[in-house]
Amino acid sequence: MGVFPWVAWFAFRRHTAYPLSGIAEALTNTAFGFIRAYILIALWHERPSLGGYDVTDAVTFAFLTQALVGPVQLWGGLELTERIRSGDVAIDLHRPADLQAWWLADDLARGLATLLLRGGPPLIAGVLVFQIRIPGPGTLAAFALAVMLGVLVGFGIRYAVALGTFWLHDDRGLQAISLILAMFFSGLLLPLVAFPGRLGTLAQALPWAALIQVPADVFLGKHTGAELVRALAFQALWAVVLLAAGRAMTLAARRRLVIDGG
């Protein structure tokens, strides 16, 4: 077995080492799911068909969003950032393994571990208290693919932010900007279908839409047939673009590390 499956396996073990912590985070996500559900119920009571959603779609979206917050890692960066700040990344760059692929394997395992520990409780609570849409097996399979692509896009964004530390020497500003953009344009605060006019069009074309809005729409059955293919292609395109940008930044960062005498 190659090095990257081992990286993923040990990362999965590390992120599942404290299940009680994961359950506590899941309960927090569930509590916020109820808060957001009641807010959206009030909003949809005034606008019953806002953005093509009905109130059941809106409530399902609220709990589904809370289930996806951990896997796509809307807030929080990569541990790579600290290694860049401390200089330990020099060791990583001298390993006979690709830096980007190493952290991608780590992040995919983190996403799976977080989904298993934190994804279920919000949805279960929503089903017990509200009327929640439950998709069929085919839609669930498409949803699983959309979530995986969302994790890839999320990694691409956070990897680029982490590598920015090579030039800025401090990631806090980039992290703050990334957090604000992710919360606003992913659909976390409000479904992007509720955004008006050109703002809505712009929001649904940006990469953050691939994190939550697209998987949620797939789960709700808003994308079928050719529309489903286009939605998944949208996610895949942004994943490729961001991973390619991360590859270019890695090469530039390696040269910069050598130039600076690292």
Mean pLDDT lowest for which of 44-48, 108-112, 199-203, 225-229?
44-48
Do residues 245 and 159 make contact, with C-beta atoms less than 8 angstroms apart?
no
Q: Cα separation of 91 and 45, whole Å?
A: 57
pLDDT band at 25 (very low <50, low <70, confident <90, very high): confident
Place of tokens 């119920």: 41
How high is the pLDDT of residue 261? 46
- Is the distance from CB of 131 to CB of 203 less than 8 angstroms? no
Of residues 258 and 174, which shows the higher confidence score? 174
pLDDT of residue 258: 53
State the pLDDT confidence band at 1, using cuts at 50, 70 and 90. low
The count of structural domains within the chain is: 1
Residue 204 has pLDDT above 50, yes or no: yes
What percent of the chain is modeled with pLDDT above 90? 42
Domain that holds residue 167: 3-259
Contact 53, 213 (CB under 8 A): no
Q: Which residues contact 22 (CB under 8 A, 6 or more apart)?
A: 16, 113, 114, 117, 118
Q: Is the pLDDT of residue 88 over 90?
A: no
Q: What is the pLDDT of residues 111-120, one digit of tens each?
A: 999 988 888 8
Averaged pLDDT, 115-140? 88
| Mean pLDDT along residues 158-169 | 87
Q: Is the pLDDT of residue 48 over 90?
A: no
**What CA–CA distance (Å, rounded) separates 126 from 131?**
7
As a whole number, mean pLDDT of residues 81-90 equals 82
Task: Give the pLDDT confidence of 243-255 residue by residue, as tens digits.
Answer: 999 999 998 887 7
The phi and psi torsions of 124 (rounded to 5 degrees) equal -65, -45
Q: Which of 21-35, 223-237, 242-256: highest mean pLDDT? A: 223-237
pLDDT at 92 exceeding the cut of 60: yes
Q: With bands split at pLDDT 50, 70 and 90, how would you rate the model's confidence at 165?
A: confident
